Amino acid sequence: MTDLTDLTIAAARDGLAAKEFSATELTDAYIGAVEQARELNAFVLETPDTAREMAAASDEKLAAGDARPLEGIPLGIKDLFCTEGVRATACSHILDEFTPRYESTVTANLWADGAVMLGKLNCDEFAMGSSNESSYFGPCANPWRRNGDDTNLVPGGSSGGSASSVAARIAAGATATDTGGSIRQPAAFTGTVGMKPTYGRCSRWGIVAFASSLDQAGPITRSVRDAAIMLKSMASVDPKDTTSVDIDVPDYEAAIGGSVKGMKIGIPAEYTIDGMPADIQALWDQGKAWLKDAGAEIVDISLPHTKYALPAYYIVAPAEASSNLARYDGVRYGLRVPGDDITDMYEKTRAEGFGDEVKRRVLIGTYVLSAGYYDAYYLRAQKVRTLIKKDFEDVYADGIDAILTPATPSSAFGIGEKAGGDPVEMYLNDIFTVTVNMAGLPGISVPAGMDDQGLPLGLQLIGRPFDEASLFTVGQVLEDAAGLAPKPERWWR
């Protein structure tokens, strides 16, 4: 029999239904795999006792014939999601040992559908990063390595632990969040599927906020079908989040296997950037050929304001972050560093509690919101954001069904290779992904090939608002053509 941890969510669901194994056996297999993969540092908190209790409850449901959509499926939860009675720190020192008394809406939805929690996953501190190197718990490692090279690579960020755990077969699937590419970029770096749904499709309640007008939860999985299964459970309207949208959540899995014949797939000229690596361009060309062979029409399009997206994003996101992170002051929860008076306590707590990247973004955000620079920076960036959104609206109004682009400008890089240099070099990792967040659109990264170093590469599809179903249909065509990304060769103990 196939190793239980090699099964996709869909295959595990079918195996449980056929009573080939129990939820407890499946969960125990994952608990063992997690324990043997601690060298990856993907989990920052393991919850084996909770997992076994949940699995036992799932076995009772399965025995009674009352299986729910995710019955007995072991998942990892990004440390940004609040989980009742289980530590949630956003991988920041300032939230030391914070244990929520409430459950995020997304995780509550997953538990209501029968999923099992394996633990909390590593991420960049407050989701601020593209490599998972800003985490207070240390960097997470990518289970992939370059051919003939034992250098540890980053898994991408901020959802690095989510992507690493799924690729390494130590979680069947994982929750993640995407503010500027933090689901799609790590998915591309690890050969996994990352779905960032439309802004408002999943509730943000109970997720530690980075930039509230950009943040959106979504799944990282090993297949397009698995992403469809997970998103169906994660998505919902929520009265506790006024930005969640009251639109029916379709059966996304039903979109898998649909035809793309007659679909118009847009290819934006602006995504051909200077110095694009040959293997990224070749992968993009291959993706176009696959979709054309499947019957789709490939159409050249223009998104003229794309070049302004990255600078506008790095004004809007830090501005919202500086506002959201003002609440972390050592008074009610988390870290408190004593001071001579309350102001001194605030300053010392924040100085010690926040890491360098978070401090950098708070400083940038505070600066662009200050009285003398608000109009010059923040207001102008919001106007650019409106123009970016209109570019997409115009293209979709012309009949384009989805847009195909690269997911990242490169494959995974080594831990430490970019962390100490120019931060702008790190920010450029988001060049293909931030437009999607600025416009509030859905996007998916699908593993589509390997580079000459033996590392996975992903293609990105961008869809119409609340049309994730079309992305699953097109994404499945890409996955079928490329084949599932091979399993990384195990190097951890």
Distance CA 322, CA 366 (A): 6
Which residues lie across from 81 on neighbouring strands?
207
Reply yes or no on whether 120 is catalytic. Answer: no
- Distant-in-sequence, close-in-space partners of 331: CB < 8 Å, separation ≥ 6: none
| Torsion sign over Cα 161, 165, 171, 175 | positive
218-247 burial, b at 16+ Cβ within 10 Å, e below that, comes to bbbbbbbbbbbbbbbbbbbbbeebeebbee
Annotated catalytic residue, options 182, 203, 236, 470: 182
- Residue 268 parent element (H or E): strand 264-268
Distance CA 231, CA 221 (A): 10
Distance CA 468, CA 404 (A): 14
Reply yes or no on whether 92 is catalytic. Answer: no
Annotated catalytic residue, options 104, 130, 158, 203: 158
Question: What are 43's two structure tokens?
Answer: 């989990």
Residue 155 in contact with residue 163, Cβ under 8 Å?
yes
Distance CA 31, CA 74 (A): 9
Distance CA 451, CA 439 (A): 30
- Maximum C-alpha span of the chain: 70
Distance CA 222, CA 230 (A): 11
Reply yes or no on whether 165 is catalytic. Answer: no
User: Which sequence positions are flagged as catalytic?
Assistant: 78, 158, 182
